[in-house]
Amino acid sequence: MSGGGVSPPFRPLSHQDSVHAAQESRRGSAHGSGVESHQTVTICPDARESAWTRARTYGIIMVTLVARSRRAPSTDPKVAALRAAGALHPRPSAVRDEAFLRHPFFDARDRVQVKYEMLRRHDIDQRPVTEVAARFGVSRQAFYEAQTAFAKGGLPGLVPKRPGPKRASKCTDAILTFAERWLAEGPDRSVAALAGAVRDRFDATIHPRSLQRALARRKKKRPPLESNR
């Protein structure tokens, strides 16, 4: 800080500054060693000029805390479209394939394009799975999952599935129909016993709570007239 400092009139009158000055105490010379002490000078409105003149002898470090502003959302329409479709790559910087690094046609933000080019690099260019997975920033397991998804569903199969609650795949319509009829045959029949009956009939192990929730969803979706029959 320069010797002139900052003129006090430009600072708020209600503001107080503390100036810490480390100085060697001459009192410790009698004991053969220097003792470091700290002096705090509080600048008040009525003694500002004299204190400021005294304080500018020392170096002053002023620390200002500034709130970090949130990153503004991207205005790129392609990014918005990819995000809406669930196809925005979460880690585009992990894609190190030469084509994505050299040509703007290849967009590492497009997760579907990245997966497709990864599979093509292996199937058409005959590159090893380990090498391809490393270049595209995925594990070998993720590569084989993409390969299976593409074989079953083509390009739409490469679109990541949206997260959310999943319906129990074991609770088929046939099992639920059987469950409704089995429970209706006697008032003493419980859902816990139903799980055993389903296991014996369909060779499928389903938790009683899963059966109960599946039956409740089916009843809720059924038209009112049909449910009253």
Q: How confident is the model at residue 115 (pLDDT cuts 50, 70, 90)?
A: very high
Structure pTM?
0.43
Rounded distance, CA 216 to CA 160, Å?
Answer: 29
Q: Average pLDDT of 204-214?
A: 88
Q: What are the tens digits of pLDDT across the range 29-62? A: 444 444 444 444 444 455 455 555 554 545 555 5
Mean pLDDT comparison of 84-88, 113-117, 212-216, highest-scoring range: 113-117
Is residue 135 over pLDDT 70? Answer: yes
Q: How confident is the model at residue 28 (pLDDT cuts 50, 70, 90)?
A: very low
111 burial via Cβ count (<10 Å: 0-12, 13-18, 19+): buried
- pLDDT for 33: 46
Q: Which of 52-66, 113-127, 213-227 has the lowest mean pLDDT?
A: 52-66
